[in-house]
Amino acid sequence: QLQLVESGGGLVQPGGSLRVSCAASGSTLDEYAIGWFRQAPGKEREGILCINLWYPGSTTNSVDSVKGRFTISRDNAKNTVYLQMNSLKPEDTATYYCGAHWSPYPNFCTNGFDKGRYDYWGQGTQVTVSS
């Protein structure tokens, strides 16, 4: 069974950068779509980025609030997906989670921000953006 572990969170100043990791074990990520989600205190978990690794081309999608600032990538050798966060804002403060959906359709990421579509989750990593 696939297992996911997030890491790399911490405290960063506004305008700074941070990279968080989603390390997978138990299965290769070649057959999954990966979604990055975040949840601030008192708010719903929201999807921000999606990458479909099942099909060649690895299609991606992102919400407008992070577009141009956040980038998703993968290290095949480490079976790990990364979330690179630049130009961080205080409103980015949240617990960040990665989720996985097995055997996605080619257009999965078009609707990849629905947390109900994901079968596996990591424990989350805290990101705090503050001066």
> How does pLDDT run across 55-95, given as a tens digit for each residue?
877 889 999 999 999 999 999 999 999 999 999 999 999 99
The pLDDT of residue 58: 80
Strand, coil or helix: 116? helix
Q: What gap in Å lies between CA 48 and CA 24, rounded to an integer?
A: 19
Q: How confident is the model at residue 17 (pLDDT cuts 50, 70, 90)?
A: very high
User: Which of 34, 31, 23 has its CA nearest to residue 77?
Assistant: 23
End-to-end CA distance of the chain: 40
* Partners of residue 98 on adjacent β-strands: 36
- What pLDDT score does 71 carry? 96
Alpha-carbon torsion, ordered 5, 20, 46, 68, to 10 deg? -150
For 86-128, the pLDDT digits (tens) are 999 999 999 999 999 999 999 999 999 999 999 999 999 999 9
pLDDT digits (tens, 9 = 90+) for 41-51: 999 999 999 99
pLDDT at 55: 86
The dihedral through the CA atoms of 69, 89, 15, 127 has a sign that is negative
Q: What is the mean pLDDT of residues 6-22?
A: 98
What is the band of 30 on the pLDDT scale with cuts at 50, 70, 90?
very high
Largest CA distance in the chain: 42
